Amino acid sequence: MSAHTVLVVDDDKEIREATGIYLRNEGLNVLEAEDGLAALELLEQHEVHLIILDVMMPRLDGLGATFRIREKKNIPILMLSAKNEDADKVLGLQVGADDYVTKPFSPLELIARVKSQFRRYMTLGMYEGGGRVIQLNGLALDPDAKEVRLNGEPVRLTPIEYGIVELLMTHAGRVFSINEIYERVWKEPGFRPENTVAVHIRKIREKIEIDPKNPRYLKVVWGLGYKMEK
């Protein structure tokens, strides 16, 4: 992982420095920013492969920064929060975060989640498909380009959203339970993953469905899970 750069964004200098030590011990390059605006400036100047982003910060907070970042980039975002309420976590996921860690966190947990994000980021879309494009009516997935198109227009997806779409499209018609989706896309055991998966499903529908409340492609099978309609 030595070629990867992580941007740590937190207004608490001690947390930034401690997090940087953990990451550098894993062979990662580290950039630091004290708020969302400073983070956006660094993203324009450097190639960054993952962002660790605090929620509560001056000038531009983590939610606002995530929204701005997602307008241009799909790199993984790991959100830090001092709050342990599901509503706060769901809001972070809704604006585009890929995962979250609640403060105070252990170094082992943080590093495990960073490594998990890197595994997904580097492997999503990589399977033996011979460069074929998977087509479901107007929805197309190109695994080599890691790209999804709707009626010929590119769809901007986060790495997690892409992973879910790829899983369901490469097994069109098959129903996956929420736990299956979480374990195969997040690549770790799921613990009450219902809210997390549901938020990402809703965001995907907003991007690929004309009417997200009456989806044509991404269907729920009540009591069982989700599938991509053939």
Same domain for 116 and 169?
Answer: no
Same domain for 112 and 160?
Answer: no
Which residue has 């990662």 as its token pair? 28
In-domain check, residue 210: yes
- Give the pair of three-digit tokens for residue 140: 């197309």
Range among 127-131, 187-191, 201-205 rated most confident: 201-205
Cβ(98)–Cβ(62) below 8 Å: no
Q: What is the pTM of this model?
A: 0.63
Same domain for 32 and 63?
Answer: yes
The total number of structural domains in the chain stands at 2
- One-letter identity of residue 72: K
Q: Residues 69-106: pLDDT tens digits?
A: 988 887 889 999 876 666 777 788 888 888 888 888 89
- Strand ranges inside the chain, DSSP E: 5-9, 29-33, 50-54, 77-81, 99-102, 134-136, 139-142, 147-150, 153-155, 218-221, 225-228
- Residue 230: per-residue pLDDT: 80
In-domain check, residue 129: no
Same domain for 115 and 171?
Answer: no
Q: Residues 43-72: pLDDT tens digits?
A: 999 989 899 999 889 999 999 999 899 888
Task: Tell me which of 76, 94, 124 is where a domain ends.
Answer: 124
Same domain for 47 and 115?
Answer: yes
Q: Residues 204-227: pLDDT tens digits?
A: 999 999 999 999 999 999 989 999
In-domain check, residue 142: yes
Q: Which residues contact 81 (CB under 8 A, 6 or more apart)?
A: 54, 55, 56, 62, 88, 89, 92, 100, 101, 102, 103
In order of 66, 181, 194, the CA distances from 177 in angstroms are 28, 6, 10
Same domain for 117 and 221?
Answer: no
- Bridge partners (DSSP) of residue 176 are 226
In-domain check, residue 169: yes
Task: Tell me which of 124, 151, 168 is where a domain ends.
Answer: 124
Same domain for 215 and 160?
Answer: yes
In-domain check, residue 73: yes
Same domain for 46 and 81?
Answer: yes
- One-letter identity of residue 102: T
Same domain for 70 and 144?
Answer: no
**CATH code at 71?**
3.40.50.2300
Q: Tell me the average pLDDT across 173-200.
A: 91
Could you tell me if residue 146 is left (phi over 0), alpha (psi between -120 and 50 degrees) or otherwise beta?
Answer: left
Same domain for 100 and 194?
Answer: no
**CATH code at 162?**
1.10.10.10
**Domain limits for position 209:** 134-228
Assess whether pLDDT exceeds 90 at residue 143. Answer: no
In-domain check, residue 176: yes
